[in-house]
Amino acid sequence: MSLLVVGLSHRSAPVSVLERASLNADAQVKLLQDTVAAEPATEAAVLATCNRIELYADVDKFHAGVAELSTLLAQHSGVGLEELTPYLYVHYEDRAVHHLFSVACGLDSMVVGEGQILGQIKDSLARAQELHTAGRLLNDLFQQALRVGKRAHSETGIDRAGQSLVTFGLEQLALGTAVESWARGKKALVIGAGSMSSLAAATLARSGVAEVVVANRTHARAERLAQILTEGDDTDVRARAVPMDSVPDELTRADVVVSCTGATGLVLTADAIAAGVESRTGEPPATAPAPEAEAVLPPAPVGAEEGCPLDLSAVQPGFSVMGEAAVAGMDAATLEQHAAWVAGGTVDRRETSRSGLEADAELIGALAAAASTVGRIPERRRPEPVAEPPRPEPVLFLLDLAMPRDIDAAVHRLAGVRLVDIESLAEASADAPMAADVDQVRRIVSDEVAAFGAAQRAAHITPTVVALRTMAADVVAGEIARLEGRLPGLDDKHRAEITQTVRRVVDKLLHAPTVRVKQLAAEPGGAGYADALRTLFDLDPETVASVSRAGESTEKNPENRGPA
């Protein structure tokens, strides 16, 4: 069996696709159940966040596994396979391990170094364990990923390279101002009471907002979050809980709104936001015009003008700053004739006495000068940018951390409103600086991947070694029983001494080969040593398989498993 991951993330797919492909809790459960029910897979785990959807599985066939996992992702996400396929990535074996470890360290996050992904990986493992879709491989993999992520954060300064998505989003809202200065005294509305919303509420409270209002469909959870904020030792913020139907009223009082719910539709429409702004300013917010498609001008009809020596109608269309597309490949004499025609004179190309290179340089220069002055060479010109009137200062700041989005994207065009959502965060994070510690984290990931691979390969041969030693013990027992039949008068002392001697001989003979085969099996490509051992000692495959099953049974039983 082999590890395979198929998925898509903010690095491979646009936000619009991620938004449509998002999986709610029920869809994730059904996806896991269908994956382990499929033929190529025996284990499965789903890592679904606002920035990624990944399906991990232990498969026995690579190509069949990729096809099956891709199809299942398409079915459960609701995005057709043909549309989804261009955005999918596939990692296999060590590359799959490397990918998850990088994700756990925050190297693959939208904001490099953020630590929230560790909690999401932990939740994914817990879900797979609860549904019994995680076996030995995925249990080992995800638990090790959590350890690697914690090691990266404790041994390096990766935390300095980035921050949580919440903090990064608030920084984008603050427009370069320190978040503490920007937030001080503001009233905040947090919609949702999950882990991301709770983090947003706590961050706003620590940043100095005057009040945090929590709205959630389950009012008890909103009350619980408000109570935690009120009782916190590091803030003195006022906090209260309201039902979801009070959100329109709260919009008339809030300065900052953070929304992160699991809703499949919009929580805040553009009309609701506009009404909230109007109630604050006394007039409806203006709406900026939607950006129009860039106009494309046709080429100037130079080739059709009377007397022009060039037929430019066959020139391939395309944007050309100085008409390079039109003159590319033309000989110097033709260019000379065209330049003379543009200048209003005539030139007999046969009477030129200058060298070809000299003429080329001068004529092309003359043609370019003429073209830039009178526009005789066909060009595709971009339209002049239209100056937009300055937008008024925002009176309402919106941070949408949900996937799919909670807040209508049309809000971007409302004057007096600033919206930061997953899409704008992705654009902003592309230029975010990375700390030097990132290189150290990458080295940690590489080392941990190698160690994990060696451990897995060594574990693969363990059942074979156990089966070999079991067979040797059976042989010793059989020979001792035969000896007792031939020497019935053998006393207990001598029988014990003979038995111990035979066992020592067998152990010494097996010690070096079994130790060495474990070392060799831990190296890349070492899986074949288990097969060689089974062949050389004629081990029963069913005996080896029974040892493996016993180990998996122990691994799945929480009472027999040590701490993670």
Residue 308 annotated as binding? Answer: no
CB 42 within 8 A of CB 135: yes
How far is it, in rounded angstroms, from Cα 51 to Cα 250?
29
Identify the three-state secondary structure at position 212.
strand
Residue 115 annotated as binding? Answer: yes
Residue 369 annotated as binding? Answer: no
Residue 276 annotated as binding? Answer: no
How far is it, in rounded angstroms, from Cα 106 to Cα 96?
16
Instruction: For the chain, state the CA radius of gyration.
Output: 35
Residue 1 annotated as binding? Answer: no
How far is it, in rounded angstroms, from Cα 345 to Cα 341?
6
Identify the three-state secondary structure at position 41.
strand
Transcribe 282-345 into DSSP letters. Answer: SSPPPBPPPPPPPP-PPPP-GGGSTT-S---TTSPPS--SSSHHHHTT--HHHHHHHHHHHTT-
DSSP 8-state symbol, 381: P
Residue 192 annotated as binding? Answer: yes
What distance lies between CA 358 and its chain's CA centroid?
57
The terminus-to-terminus CA distance of the chain in angstroms comes to 23
CB 197 within 8 A of CB 190: yes
How far is it, in rounded angstroms, from Cα 422 to Cα 110?
9
The tokens of 156 are what?
């390096």
Contacts of 92 (CB under 8 A, 6+ apart): 2, 3, 4, 5, 62
As to burial, measured by CB atoms within 10 angstroms (0-12 exposed, 13-18 middle, 19+ buried), residue 80 is: exposed
Residue 50 annotated as binding? Answer: yes
Which residues are designated catalytic? 50
Residue 197 annotated as binding? Answer: yes
As to burial, measured by CB atoms within 10 angstroms (0-12 exposed, 13-18 middle, 19+ buried), residue 295 is: exposed
Residue 52 annotated as binding? Answer: yes
Across the strands, what pairs with 59? 2, 41
The tokens of 344 are what?
């209003």
Helix (H) or strand (E) holding 11: none
Residue 116 annotated as binding? Answer: yes
Residue 195 annotated as binding? Answer: yes
- Residue identified by tokens 């470890």 is 101
Which residue ranges make up the annotated binding site? Answer: 49-52, 109, 114-116, 120, 192-197
Extract the annotated binding site for substrate. 49-52, 109, 114-116, 120
Which residues sit in the known binding site for NADP(+)?
192-197
